[in-house]
Structure 1
Amino acid sequence: MFHLVWNRHLKLMSRIMVSDVYLKLLFARSFALARTTWMSMHSLVGDKNIVLMGPPGAGKTTVGKIVGQKLGSCFIDVDDDVLEKTWNMSVAEKLKDVGNEQFLEEEGKALLNLSTSGNVVSLTGSNPLNTASMEHVKKNGIVVYLDVPSESIIDRLQLMKVDRIVGQGPGTSLRDILQYRKQFYKKWYDVRVLCENGVTADDVAEKVLHAVKRYQDSYSDGFISTRSLRCNKDEQKSSIKYFSDVVVEGLAPDGGLFVPEIGLPKFTPGEWQHLLAATYAERAQIILERCIHPTDVPASKLWEIIETAYGQNFTCSKIAPVRHLAGNQFLLELFHGPTASFKDLALQLMPQLFAYCVPKSCNYLILVATSGDTGSAVLDGFSRLKEADKQRIAVITFFPQDGISQIQKSQMIGYQEGNTKVVGVKSDFDFCQSAIKQMFTNSDYTGFLTVEYGAALSAANSINWARLLPQVVYHASAYLNLVEQDIISFGSPVDVCIPTGNFGNILAAIYAKMMGIPIRKFICASNQNNVLTEFIKTGLYDIKGRKLMKSLSPAVDILKSSNLERHLHLIANGDGQLVMQLFSSLENQHYFQLQRHFLEKLQQDLVADWCSEEECLDAIRSVFNTTGYILDTHTAVAKVVADRLQDKTCPVIISSTAHYSKFAPAILQALRIGEIKQTPLSQLHLLNSYNPLPPVHRGLLETLKKNEKQNYQVCAADVKVLMEHVEALIQNHFMKVF
């Protein structure tokens, strides 16, 4: 490549009569250009091979040749350049001669003889079935998986008149063997390239180069604090945080929240449509591997974590199904997890990521503030870790003693084991959340815990990026479900309506739009603690003298919205100084006013309203009377606001964030059932007698039977007292450092 560019410039200079000075200048520039072009391409490959993997018909050979040409590297086709030269016969002849099993064995042995570096290699479709040969290839190669839809592969093979591939026996369809092989492709690839329908080989080659470049450059996936000041590139590189760092640390040292420095990746419409036939776990894998650098969590490990999170833990196989409610309103059911709330979608995954990312030699205490649902979801998620991980990871949950439902309380206290503790606080959620932030930013306290007990603090609230990121998946998946069900075509807009107090759930939907999901309007639904609604309408965030009011929807009883900080950082184009000023004002003066041009930007696709207690109960009763379906109190808030704000020109997806069983007294009140029995268990049995849709949550019934008489500690609203509880758990669980 270098010599070709150089020769072209020599010929050009020989034809042009210019002064000696200009000739020398042009010569120098030409040499620099040629050298830079060659060096940049060579540095991408280095001494590593780019190894293309995928099913037969995926285009590995065609794409490999193009990639080789672009890099000025040799292209090696394993079929032609390794197997046939080793066997002195064609692959088809060999397969016919020895049969499937022996073919795979001999194919693997032949690949062990491949010794090359800095080149582009195209594997056979069956190479990944041989462990030894793939381990050999990976030692000196970056394995790129060309992920082509099975339908496209079948069509291509039919055009090529291929009616049988390696491993396919009598009675086995081509579709079955392609599905069988996917488990092996998932095991070996370093990066995946989605090859959507209609994409050209040149386009795929560019995608391969982009994916390899990202793999080689971990700086591209760095994180910054929402309050970080702009600095030069050298300073940025020295202070950069990676995914594993932000998972472990939770909150940034300056009190801000971590966000990706260059934003979120964007999928093309074709790539999204590639996911239509995928399971929820497969969608999660593809979305998250674009957001998590493979040097932090390799693709094969990420798949193992996702399978653990979404394997047998959910009562619905679709994990987060979309149900038609009425008219053009659809419910995104997010309550099929073990603790019956949307928090499970992230908190079955996040603990597994956390355990993988934390240093094995350190002890970590997870601090949790909960307004109801987060606590039990965190405790359940971390209770599923391996025993070795439990020994070095503990969890303490603080909740407002009188600010959550009795069933939510019963859920949490049932998880108290050796490495977990639950504490009721005589205050509200905002105090619990603020106390945790104070502990994180108290360097004397955190330093003492590290020195004295070898323990560090982390967070599992949605201030932790690994808690927020998985929520993007279900918003994207909900849209894809509507497309898959032929309710809309891809590209048609939808609105989403989300009950929220901490802004995390709705922010995840905003991120889904940034990644390419066609969401038109985000409808923020508040209850009587409507500080978010007022802010979105006026730009004034004012909590001076404002008291938190207890409501029927306690999970959104929040006045200080943590994740709003991330959204303001986004609309302020990453101005960390402005974000710091706004939230310092909120902390010290208890209010801030957003400038008009930022407010206009905020309101471009975000609207808000709130729902009274009476309206909430009326909505539950009305929906049940007309459809037989029971909304929980939070979903009812969203339903009321959606009815008020949606313009009915497109579907609206309402996030159903919890199962109604968690709020049985309010549901019984809404349905005007005369006798409301006292114990949570009897309340659920009473509801169950009405044959509701969906049925009463079985997991909650079992939890209540088990936890009716469990005890827990209650403390005063004093940060020092909370710190004492933290230290006590650390003392009891982790070995003291002498």
Structure 2
Amino acid sequence: MSRLLHLTHRHFHRHICDQSLISVSWNIALSCSKVFHFSKRAKSKLSIPSSLLGEKNIVLLGAPGAGKTTVAVLVGQITGLPVIDVNEVLEKTWHMSVAQKLQEVGEELFLQEEGQILQELSTARSIISLTGSNPMHRCSMQHMKKNGIVVYLDVPLEDVQQRLEGMNVDHIVGLGPSVSIQEMFQYWRQFYHQWYDVRVLCQAGDTAEAVAEKVLDVIKWYQDSNSGTFTSTRSVAKDSEFRRAPSFFTDVVIEGLPLDGGLYVPASQLPELTAGEWQRLAGAPYSERAQVLFEKCIHPNDVLAADLREMVVKAYGQNFSCNRIAPVRHLSGCQFLLELFHGPTASFKDFALQMLPQLFAYCMPRTCNYLILVSTSGDTGSAVLDGFFCLSDADKQRIAVLAFFPEEGISQIWKAQMISYTAENIKAVGVKSDFDFCRRTVKEIFTNPDYTGFLTVEYGTALCHADSTNWACLLPQVVYHASTYLDLINQGVITFGDAIDVCIPTGNFSNILTAVYAKCMGIPIRKIICALTQNNTLTDFIKTGKYDVRRRSMTASLSPTLDVLKSSSVERYLHLVSRGDGQLVSKLFSQLEEQCHFQVPDILLRRIQHHFVSDWCSEEECLAAIYSVYRSTGYILNVHTAGAKVVADRLHDGACPVVIVSTAHPCTSAAAVLQALRINEISHHPTDQLQMLNSLNPVPAIHKAVTERLAKLHTQESQVCPADPSDMMDTIERFLQQNFMKVA
């Protein structure tokens, strides 16, 4: 769906401001502004054609002390556009100062009269500096958004306080002896967050000149119709007549995969944050870190900032059992654990799949139904079922989810979680084969135009992806890698700029790829340690540059979610390190599909080894690590994390902290954990296993959401399908018949 069409059926802010709430009104007097003399270099960089705006205004929003008026004057000087200071408009209309008016009429009437004047302001192609209290008046802000691009100057509290200390602040509504600037600042932010189109994340000590530069940069980005577009990893050279037109984020979320068999990646580099911007985020809660990074990577023409914030709050709120969402825990020595299992299904996949369903429902065209079809080795299936289960009833009438999993090659906890979902539009089906067969068959179904066309014609239904092949699943994972580094700063382990290493248990390569993306965005990750099971194709690839599965067969391990021979996200990584060489990527993966192997050029191997080292862990070593860590610290690792610790012990040189990524709660591999802890007579029933684990008073504590989910299991059994593509397609059609009426 094109971005233009996307905008025609959306978006007006859903938030309603309570006009009776206490707010602030403040004017930064122009007499206090400094006159800045721009160098030729700065003028060249800051210059912007006024025609870029059309008839739009640039509207600067922010707290008192944010420097809105000063920056507005500078932007006006650069662009040649007139500057309107709303404070001056108010005083000319009232024939008195803002402070006098506030004292005369009181706060509530002041807000109403101020909003009415702003609502009647009619101008075009101007720079408008709002007051601090304007965002509290709903109708006037709707008027501003209709006629302008609202830019939020997100200035650090410390800078605001410093600027206000020596200035007259007798006309800030609600500020008094019992209310601090900090309390007012936090109160105002909720209103600012409702209205802005783009944010300027200001660093501590930024000059007005620097902020003006950032304002013009975000305006250019906002107005550029090709910003935030995507291309395929197999896209040919830019000057080729066969090159496909770029896709927008909304297209990528719904389509999942491009038609050429590749994977979607951003058409330009991921945005790199400065050290100051990262340091701004260090003190922010997890949801705000996610919001800022999503805003940097998702164009506001695709998802409005206010709507994105609503999704982020839902995704990373009460559904996570830890309010830090992705806490970092010291293990021993220079080793730290990133706990990614506090979501509703106890897996790192919750970070992506609490967010993706909301994005999907937001972006989907209203012209047909959608079947989310996934293959899973356990963690993806549980997370995708839960994520789509939490959508509104209206959205669930248009969306169904079907997950295929290997009937025997899966953790009993994952299996029990999946089959416990009994909603009509959500189902998990076992297949009498391994995960590679499930994944290969699902991919063949997606690329079978006769079958997908049949589903469209008969049921008005399109097939869609909701796993790591969908780009929207990767962005949330970038956030937690960045957040880890910021938490280590907060804990005093490092200061910004210090390097860390990261060790990640790896199957499909998506989690480890997103650590590379976090590094590209400015997080100082030195080495990424790739930890595997005995299905160690990736270890050989990282050491030799040869990806070869010709003489390999899948060996079931204690970590079935890591048992992958062909890791699909490697394709995105090779596109990155080959500097976007789609022709090379297409050649390599065509060879992998046809001949089951490829060898990367030496230059790519050197770049790969610059990012990665890799090794694998045997089952005996994994179980021994679980027992050893429990005896020495009282902490229980799950099998994936234990394998990663073994590899980290082997490969990490101790020169910097290493973060071992704990991708699942130990209860998800309860049977193996109990075996490692040398518990005799382990029950085969998942609920009994959790009770046995809980009897050890474990750290981390038993996962409450998983326990509650398994309590709903009762006696239902999973549907089982033969390892035959035609049977799987029949299963899909029967499922659609239950959910969607045939097209007349």
Aligned match for 1:182, one of 183, 186, 189: 189
1:693-714 deviation digits (Å, cap 9, x = unpaired): 1111112222222214112211
The answer (yes or no) to whether the contact 2:99–2:170 under 8 Å persists in 1 is no
**Deviation per residue, 1:311-339 (Å, 9 max, x gap):** 21000000000000000111000000000
Match of 2:107 among 92, 100, 103: 100
Between the aligned partners of 2:521 and 2:47, the Cα distance in structure 1 is 32
- For 1:507 and 1:157, the matched residues in 2 are separated by 44
Distance in 2 (alpha carbons) for counterparts of 1:538 and 1:299? 44
The answer to whether the 8 Å contact 1:314/1:336 transfers is yes
Quick one: which of 557, 562, 578 aligns to 1:572? 578
Q: 2:554 aligns with which of 548, 564, 572?
A: 548
SS at match of 1:721: helix
CA deviation vs aligned residue, 1:388-435 (integer Å, no higher than 9, x gap): 100000011011111111111000001132111211111111111111
How far did 1:263 drift?
1.9
Is 1:507 paired with 2:499?
no
Q: Name the Cα RMSD after superposition.
A: 1.6
- Give me the whole-angstrom Cα distance separating, in 2, the residues matched to 1:649 and 1:262: 34
Inter-partner Cα distance in structure 2 for 1:55 and 1:543: 58
Question: 1:335 & 1:278 partners in 2: Cα distance?
Answer: 21
- Structure 1 residue 160 displacement after superposition: 2.2
Q: Deviation of residue 545 (structure 1)?
A: 3.2
Any conservation in 2 of the 1:634–1:656 contact (CA below 8 Å)? yes
Superposed CA offset, 1:289-322 (max 9, x none): 1100101100000000111111210000000000
Determine the structure 2 residue equivalent to 1:441.
Answer: 447
CA distance in 1, matches of 2:182, 2:172: 11
- Report what 1:129 is aligned to: 136
Aligned pair partner of 2:149 in 139, 142, 153? 142
Q: Aligned equivalents of 1:78 and 1:560: distance in 2?
A: 60
Rounded to whole Å, the distance in 1 between the matches of 2:567 and 2:318 is 33
Measured in 2, the distance between the counterparts of 1:691 and 1:712 equals 32
Q: In the alignment, is the contact (CA less than 8 A) between 2:74 and 2:212 conserved in 1? A: yes
User: Is structure 2 residue 672 aligned with structure 1 residue 666?
Assistant: yes
The structure in which a higher percent of residues are helix is 1
The residue aligned with 1:619 is 625
Pair 1:68 & 2:93 matched: no
The answer as to 2:428 corresponding to 1:422 is yes
Cα displacement string for residues 651-693 of structure 1 (whole angstroms, at most 9, x for unaligned residues):
0111100000011111111111123123111111111111111
TM-score under structure 2 normalisation? 0.92
Per-residue deviation, 1:151: 2.1
Percent of aligned pairs sharing the same letter = 61
Q: 1:140 to 1:685 in 2, by over 3 A?
A: same
CA–CA distance in structure 1, aligned partners of residues 138 and 239 of structure 2: 46
Residue equivalent to 2:15: none
CA distance in 1, matches of 2:717, 2:170: 66
Q: Distance in 2 between matches of 1:351 and 1:464?
A: 12
Matched, 1:202 2:189: no
CA contact (8 A) 1:410 1:708 kept: no
TM-score w.r.t. structure 1 length?
Answer: 0.93
Match of 2:127 among 113, 120, 131: 120
Listed as ranges, the gaps of 5+ residues in structure 1 are 1-35
Q: Residue 709 of structure 1 corresponds to which residue in structure 2?
A: 715
Q: Alignment partner for residue 117 of structure 2, among 110, 115, 118? A: 110
Q: Distance in 2 between matches of 1:39 and 1:522?
A: 41
Offset of residue 446 of structure 1: 1.4
C-alpha separation in 2, matches of 1:396 and 1:302: 26
Deviation at 1:167, TM superposition (A): 2.9
Do structure 1's residue 44 and structure 2's residue 40 form an aligned pair? no
Q: Does 1:261 align with 2:272?
A: no
Question: 8 Å contact 1:45–1:119 — kept in the other structure?
Answer: no
Q: Go from structure 1 to structure 2 and tell me whether the alpha carbon gap of 1:58 and 1:374 turns closer, same or farther (over 3 Å shift).
A: same
Q: Is the 8 A contact 2:151 2:197 kept in 1?
A: yes
Compute the displacement of 1:439 (Å).
Answer: 1.5
Distance in 1 between residues matched to 2:65 and 2:212, nearest whole Å: 15
Identify which of 624, 629, 644 aligns with 2:635: 629
- Which range moves more in the overlay, 619-628 or 209-218? 209-218
Cα distance 1:608–1:163, how it changes in 2: closer, same or farther (>3 A)?
farther
> 1:38 and 1:531, CA in 2 relative to 1: closer, same or farther beyond 3 A?
closer
> Who is 2:67 aligned against?
59
Indicate the residue corresponding to 1:732 in structure 2.
Answer: 738
Q: How many angstroms does 1:218 deviate by?
A: 2.7
Give SS of 2:321's match.
coil
- Write the mapping of 1:284-295 to structure 2, written as runs, cut at 5 A: 284-295=290-301
1:186-205 Cα offsets, whole Å, 9 max, x none, are: 10000000111122111111
Q: More displaced, 487-496 or 150-159?
A: 150-159
Correspondence 1:494 to 2:503: no
User: In the aligned structure 1, how far is the partner of 2:47 from the partner of 2:333?
Assistant: 60
Q: How many aligned residue pairs are there?
A: 701
SS in 2 for 1:218: coil
CA distance in 1: counterparts of 2:47 and 2:389, whole angstroms: 51
Moved more, 143-152 or 416-425: 416-425
Q: Distance in 1 between matches of 2:723 and 2:548?
A: 23
Partner of 1:411: 417
Shift of 1:234: 8.3
- Following TM superposition, by how much is the alpha carbon of 1:163 offset from its aligned partner in structure 2, in angstroms? 6.3
Give runs of aligned pairs for residues 509-548 of structure 1, distance below 5 A. Answer: 509-548=515-554
Partners of 1:38 and 1:378 lie apart in 2 by 45
In 1, Cα distance between the equivalents of 2:334 and 2:93?
Answer: 63
Verify the 8 A CA contact 2:346 2:665 in the aligned structure 1: yes
Alpha-carbon distance in 1 for matches of 2:273, 2:45: 28
What one-letter code is carried by the residue in structure 2 that aligns with 1:153? V
State the alpha-carbon separation in 2 of the partners of residues 267 and 233 from structure 1.
33
Mapped to 2, the partners of 1:559 and 1:102 lie a distance apart of 68
The alpha-carbon deviation at position 159 of structure 1 amounts to 2.8
Which residue identity does 1:254 align to in structure 2? D
Paired with 1:407 and 1:181, the residues of 2 have a C-alpha distance of: 45
| Counterpart residue identity of residue 377, structure 2 | S
Q: Structure 1 residues 220 and 38, CA, compared in 2 at 3 Å: closer, same or farther?
A: closer
669-678 vs 558-567, which moves further: 669-678
Report the Cα distance in structure 2 between the residues aligned to 1:477 and 1:464, rounded to whole angstroms.
22
Q: Residue type of the partner of 1:444?
A: D
Contact 1:526 1:609 in 2 (8 A): yes
Point out the more displaced range, 387-396 or 684-693: 684-693
Distance (Å, rounded) in 2 between the aligned partners of 1:92 and 1:343: 53
Q: Is the 8 A contact 2:236 2:242 kept in 1?
A: no
Match of 1:77 among 69, 85, 94: 85
Moved more, 712-721 or 215-224: 712-721
CA displacement at 1:228 relative to structure 2? 1.1
Deviation per CA, 1:109-149, whole angstroms, max 9, x where unpaired? 11112110001000001100000110111110000000011
Mapping 1:224-303, distance limit 5 Å: 224-232=231-239, 239-303=245-309
Partners of 2:469 and 2:422 lie apart in 1 by: 24
How far does residue 40 in structure 1 lie from its aligned partner after superposition? 5.7
1: CA distance between counterparts of 2:557 and 2:46?
Answer: 65
Partner of 2:94: 87
